[in-house]
Structure formats: C-alpha cells, structure tokens
Amino acid sequence: MFSTEPSNVSPQEPRKAIYKYLTDEEKVELDDHLTRTQIKKNDFIFKEGDKPLGFITLEEGKVKIFKEGVGGREQILRMVKPGGFVSYRALIAGEIHIASAMALEDSIISVIDADHFFNKLLKNTQISTRLLTKLAKELGFSNSRTVTLTQKHIRGRLAESIILLKYKYGVEPDGSTIKAYLSREDLANLSNMTTSNAIRTLSSFVTEKVIAIDGRKVRILDHQKLERISKLG
Amino acid sequence: MFSTEPSNVSPQEPRKAIYKYLTDEEKVELDDHLTRTQIKKNDFIFKEGDKPLGFITLEEGKVKIFKEGVGGREQILRMVKPGGFVSYRALIAGEIHIASAMALEDSIISVIDADHFFNKLLKNTQISTRLLTKLAKELGFSNSRTVTLTQKHIRGRLAESIILLKYKYGVEPDGSTIKAYLSREDLANLSNMTTSNAIRTLSSFVTEKVIAIDGRKVRILDHQKLERISKLG
DNA sequence: TAACTTTGATGCTGCACAGCATAAATCGTA
DNA sequence: TACGATTTATGCTGTGCAGCATCAAAGTTA
C-alpha cells in the first residue's frame, strides 16, 4: 500500500530528482535558480502557515512533514528521503503550507524558486506528468493512512509505521535493521499514539520476538508477523 | 480549510466540467468517447480493487467515496457534487481503486474512456494544469482530515462534517438548511464514529440549539458556535 | 566529573467512545 | 393498509488508550 519503492537498491538516489528530465542546457539554467542549503538536525525548513518559497527537494538527510493538531499534538504525515520532495504540494495548490517540515538529521535541500518552477519546469510535459502521477499516488497514500490511523488498533498502527519506515528508508547490510533512527516520540507521532504507548507497544513487540531494539535501532525479526499485526490490528 | 468553494452561488455547475477548456471541435470529439449513465440510489459506481474504467465526472446527483476499514467499518473520504470528479485519482496514478463510489441519490455520471483521457484531454495543458492543482488541493484536504479525524473529539468531528456538507452542497433558500440529506449512518461514517454516537451527538447539538433536525434535514442555527465546537472539539 | 536535560521505561487512574440491547418511529412494498 | 425491514433513539457496560507520575538511563554542557 505504500507509494514508495524499497530504497535499499542503490545507496543513494541521484542528487537532483528533476535532472533526468532536462537537457544539458536546461540543467545549467536550473542551477541558476536553485539554492542548496544545509539544514541542521531539528531545524525547521518551513512551518504551517508559511508561504511556499519554492519547490524543495531533499539531497541528503531525512525530513519529517507533520501537522500540529489538537493541543499541539503532532501528526507526522510523511517522511522524506534523499531524492524526494520536501515542498511541492502547497506551491502547486497555490496555498500556504498546511504542515511543517523539520530535518530529522543534518540535511541538504535544494530550493528551486517558484517562478522558475512554474514558468520552466512545469511546462516540461515529462515533469508535469511525473508530478501529476506523484500527487495522485500521494493522495492514495494519504487516504489509506486516514483509514489506518482512525481504525486500526494501537499495535496495528505501530506495526504499519515500522513497515512503512522499512520500505521508505531501507535496511542495513544485515538485511533487517531499519536505516532510520527515530525517537519514540517521532514513532508515536507517526502512528497517532502517545509516546508512552509507543514505548509500551514496542516493548511488547520485543517480548513477542517480532522486532529487536537497540537504542533507536529497530531490527525486524519476523516481517510476516509484523504484517499480520498490521493487518489484523 | 475545505478545498471547495461554497456551492450555493449558482444552482448547478455546467454539466461537463471539462467542456470549458475545449474548442467546439474537441467537444464533439469528446462526446464520441463519453458515455452518460444513470445510477440508482445506493448503486456502486466502482468498488475497492476495481481497475479504473475511465475518467468519471458527476452530472447530477450525489456520490460518496469511501473505504472499508477494520471489520468492514466504512470511512467516507469525500463527497461529490454535480460538476465534480467521481473517478480520477486511481486512473492518473495507474493504480486500482483503493476506495469505492456509491450514489447517495439517483445520479447521472459521464464516463470518458481511459485512452481518450490520456491521449487527448491530458495533453491539453489547461486541463492537466487544472488536474494538477485539483490533486494538490485534494491532498491538502486529505492531510487535514487525517489530523481532524484522529485528534478531534467526537463533537468536533461531527461539527466539522456538518460544516463540510454545508460548504460542499450549499443550503436551501432559507439560508440554513443543508442541501444534503444523509442518513445518521453516513454522517457517522463521514465523521469516524458509530451510528449511535452520531445520533447522540446530533441530539445534543439540537438541545444546545446549534442545529435543528427534521428527519434527515439539518438546519444550522448557530454557525459560529458550530465552528467553535469544530475547532475546540 | 558533576550537574542538568532529555529520552526511555513502567505502573496507575479515569474517561471517551465502542459495542451491545431494546424500543419506537419511519420507510418500503406487497 | 398492513407487515416486515430499516432507521432513529436512548440506555447500559466494558475497555482501549490518554494522561499523568515516578524512576532509570543516556546524552549534553560546563
């Protein structure tokens, strides 16, 4: 159900996801309208309510996109990996950001200014088609998540989040340790639960030998069982 | 927060939402690839798992798009009004349907076959741009709903759904009766709660003079208060 | 290395909501 | 118009999870 292909194929995607659709000439032109920026861990890239500055892709690092809900409780909507898009929805919709973006580790982003994005890139049919497809898939993902997060029980939600992280960020050479080290709080905010319950449920998964944890490292011991927990909640 | 403009401006949108972007010639061509179909109340237009047949717009009636969750519990993802799109996301994403569509009343749909949609309509820049924007807005709506449905309390969720219906379908000439007559069950499925709780909460809104109900007619007596309940839920 | 802060772990308590059951009202149809 | 089916209404019970509090462990800074 996740709109992401497993990422453990190549160590890192090509730095600029857009490049493959451009001629050499266009690439040079793009570079004039592109700013690479270092983002430190826990720094915001944009906040709910901000006007989108441009089209932002992630070159290195990890980023979470989240929304503040009732009483400041945060819900992580999606995670970004290198080669992925950090800011595009609000820009395309012509809206202000309805969510915030924060770096989960030291990261590098590319900001393409809005003018160039609309007047050049979006006029490239390959790119606009790619974006259309991307948005359609992302909408499907979001719809599925809505149902998951509202209907599955706590164990199912956490199991699904762990599987999601595995497919998004891939695994270490050992084939089972997820290449993403989230705090229990982030794990909770991804799964719509309190931190206490994330910790508790994680512990019971360990007891049941579904996963093993070492600090923030999560190793999946029994993927089948994890899928079963995710499905039957 | 809703991606829909109030619909009580004009009595009905032009029948075919796509027409305005086409030349006379193209309109005639479109008609060759378009099938108008009558759908009876409670009939499915498509089901979860189906392959999308084409690009489907709604000409008359009301349609709900919903997803079956845990234990067959249904979550309504969105409602469609005349002029709106019934089936487009899965087609564009190249996926099978992840949700089902059912007519809430006798309706008429237009089905544009997939080939014509991809080879002609989507090559029209105006149309593809419009779809891009539409998808981006819809994604924002879905993201907001995810947070609402997971975090707001039951009163807030129901209040938001009522407001949503008001903006989507508009009101009767009296200026306050919502032009949509949903069963308590549908109202519950829209708001992520059980039917019992929809009935109960609706009753308490009546007691508090926020709304008045007459069968399935819902009249908003105090919009301000409803907004407040939705926000502070 | 000590003092402080943040994160992780676990137990206890309360309540919002689901999940029934029952009955009344309304709808659909023969 | 009568009968069964569906929808609406309301009450009761149980429980999953939030919301603390406490303590240990790990990480940070002087």
The arithmetic mean of pLDDT across residues B67-92, rounded, is 95
Q: Distance between CA B80 and CA A77 in Å, rounded?
A: 25
Distance between alpha carbon B114 and the CA centroid of its chain, in Å?
22
Question: Please, are residues A150 and B192 in contact by the beta-carbon 8 Å criterion?
Answer: yes
Query: Residue B16: its pLDDT value, please?
Result: 67
Query: Residue B2: its pLDDT value, please?
Result: 46
- Chain A's closest residue to B122, CA to CA, is A129
**Could you tell me the pTM of the whole model?**
0.93
Question: How does pLDDT run across A178-197, given as a tens digit for each residue?
Answer: 999 999 999 999 999 999 99
Closest CA–CA distance from residue A9 to any residue of chain B (Å): 23
From B93, B128, B138, residue closest to A137, measured CB to CB:
B93
Say how many residues make up chain A: 233
Inter-chain residue contact A69 with B139, CB threshold 8 Å: no
Place of tokens 């086409």: B22
DSSP state of A51: P
The arithmetic mean of pLDDT across residues A19-43, rounded, is 89
**How many CB atoms are located within 10 Å of the residue B195 CB?**
14
Question: How does pLDDT run across A140-172, given as a tens digit for each residue?
Answer: 999 999 999 999 999 999 999 999 999 999 999
**Nucleic acid strand C: bases within 7 A of protein CB:** 7-11, 16-21, 26-27
- Is the distance between the Cβ of A89 and the closest atom of strand C smaller than 7 Å? no
Q: Distance between CA A186 and CA A170 in Å, rounded?
A: 18
Q: Distance between CA B205 and CA B208 in Å, rounded?
A: 5
Closest CA to A47 of A16, A70, A80, A74: A74
Inter-chain residue contact B98 with A144, CB threshold 8 Å: yes
Which A residues 119-148 touch B at CB under 8 Å? 122, 128-129, 131-133, 135-140, 142-148
Inter-chain residue contact A132 with B135, CB threshold 8 Å: yes
pLDDT > 60? residue B5: no
pLDDT > 80? residue B126: yes
Q: Which of A43-47, A111-115, B27-31, B202-206 has the lowest mean pLDDT?
A: B27-31
CB-based contact, A98 to chain B, within 8 Å: yes
